[in-house]
Amino acid sequence: MSDSSPVAIKPVVAAIESHTESKPVALDLSHHLSIESVIRQKSLLKVSSSYLACDPELLSLAAGLPSPSLFPIEKITATVPIAKQESARNGLWKNDGLLPDTRRELQKKKDSSLKGQSEYDLSAALQYEQGTGAKQLLKFVKEHTEIVHNPQYRDWDCIMSGGNTHAMETVFRMLINPADYIILEEFVFPETAEGLKPLRAKMIGIEMDEEGMRSDSLRQLLEAWDETARGSKRPGVLYVVPTGQNPTGATMSVQRRKEIYDICVMYDLIIIEDDPYYFLQMSDYVPGADPTVVHVPKTNDEFVSTLLPSMLSIDTQGRVLRLDSFSKVAAPGLRCGWITGSDRFIERLLRHNEVGLQFPSGVSMAVLHSILAEAWGQDGYLDWLVNLRAEYTSRRNALLDAMDKYLPREVCDWVVPSAGMFVWLHIDHTKHPRKDNGIEAVEMELFEAGIDNKVLILPGAWFKVSPEARDVFFRATFASVSAEDMKLAVERFGEVLRKSFGFVGLDDL
């Protein structure tokens, strides 16, 4: 393992304390802050709460907090699945039905003697909260971050977010002034571009290959940057989804991550590491194998050691802002995640939260804390993540099996994704009989023909940053579709391709 290898899972608290003291402090990179972020001030009303924390006998007539006795919710009960523990794993996973579960209850506490319920008071969950998010859940995610990513500098911190879309938009506003350039992958989740347009940011999409953003193309752009020709200084922010990228499914190798990071150090860029699919890293695909049987790590330490290092884990300067979300590993409706970075940036994000999001849903944070910290613990959460990895690997395999069977390889190809929820389908438009109409015309013809044949698959044009198109692409997902429906959908799209390209049937291929 490298120096950035994750620490052993047990004991968590001791590991955090022993590792932190020996690490350097982050660089002061506050020159990257936007004008909007620099001028934000502390919320005076939030500051007043510090007096209560210092003196528990202080009687407060200050805060306009609604009375908890009038909250119309007395109890929340959740049934929580328990993943197969590492002691019961033998290196193989089979999709054989539901997991056992346990019940968790959140109640308003009438006294401190309640037992069998959550330590998280429901009254507190329903009340106003600090902009950092609930301290109980924040403690858990910081321990989790240390276990998995082991940040390489001392003064890092976390702040809760309303999920990665909220986190992304907030970080954009913290770092980008109007007319600033920002570097992205050439294909991005559409909301990424939509979040940048109101800021009047100028987007540059870097060419991608099977590993995502190409480091040589990034270096070439920055080396050749001409401020006079561009009318602006060199970009100061790079946004990237390094694992299971949406929409391409690409995952950066360790070497590619280090190359991108080193270039950003050389040219002084802040890296926004948006990584919601990080734990959906998968085992190898074997064509023809039973898709319901998947190899899994036997222990949680082994699981953590097999994960690719995050960009946060190789950052020694505090120039990576990592966005994590519970949307892909728990439920998107919870609208909860967290941001990790140097405490200088986290303090600025707190100022943004205080007048924007304020804090994620208190009920969501309480439910997550009850599940993660109380029902599962750090090891139980890793058990759950191993189970998720296996589930999505099985679904990916089912989709790839259908693609191998029904799609004409003469006109299309794809890279097997090693993480995420998507397969990126490339179609050679030069072999299409109406290629002279242009790439986008061919792509839209196939898209609309798919709709007519009762299959929805998203065109690459919806994801591209620059108006130019290299070829025809489509994004297919295996995340929430049954194996039977995936097979039928791919078969239908294969029919669309054969008909559009002039093939009569499978025997003609």
Do you know the residue count of the chain?
Answer: 509
Residues of the chain with CATH 3.90.1150.10: 391-504
58 pLDDT tier (thresholds 50, 70, 90): confident
The dotted CATH code for 391-504 is 3.90.1150.10
pLDDT at 445: 97
pLDDT at 97 over 60: no
Q: Under DSSP, is residue 304 helix (H, G, I), strand (E, B) or coil?
A: helix
Contact 309, 417 (CB under 8 A): no
- Quote the distance between the C-alpha of residue 435 and its chain's center: 37
pLDDT at 447: 98
Please spell the DSSP secondary structure of 335-398, one letter per residue. Answer: --EEEEEEHHHHHHHHHHHHTTT-SS-HHHHHHHHIIIIIIIHHHHHHHHHHHHHHHHHHHHHH
- Identify any residues that bridge with 337 across adjacent strands, giving them in sequence order: 161, 325
Domain spanning 11-55+63-387: which CATH class is it, in words? alpha beta
Residue range 161-177: average pLDDT? Answer: 96
Share of the chain above pLDDT 70, in %: 88
Mean pLDDT rounded to a whole number for the chain: 89
More confident position, 265 or 19:
265
pLDDT at 180 over 80: yes
More confident position, 399 or 105:
399
Side chain identity at residue 304, one-letter code: V
Residues of the chain with CATH 3.40.640.10: 11-55+63-387
Residue range 317-326: average pLDDT? Answer: 98
Nearest C-alpha neighbor of 242 from the set 409, 418, 465: 418
91 pLDDT tier (thresholds 50, 70, 90): low
pLDDT at 300 over 80: yes
pLDDT at 179: 93
pLDDT at 84: 67
Contact 212, 240 (CB under 8 A): yes
The pairing of strands 75-81 and 101-107 is antiparallel
Residue range 185-204: average pLDDT? Answer: 96
pLDDT at 56: 79
pLDDT at 264 over 80: yes
pLDDT at 507: 45
Residue range 409-438: average pLDDT? Answer: 97
pLDDT at 14: 52
pTM attached to this predicted model: 0.90
pLDDT at 107: 62
121 pLDDT tier (thresholds 50, 70, 90): confident
474 pLDDT tier (thresholds 50, 70, 90): very high
Residue range 148-153: average pLDDT? Answer: 97
Residue range 396-406: average pLDDT? Answer: 96
Q: At what angle do helices 343-354 and 164-175 cross, to 10 degrees?
A: 110
104 pLDDT tier (thresholds 50, 70, 90): low
pLDDT tens across 323-353, in order? 999 999 999 999 999 999 999 999 999 999 9
pLDDT at 230: 93
pLDDT at 75: 85
136 pLDDT tier (thresholds 50, 70, 90): very high
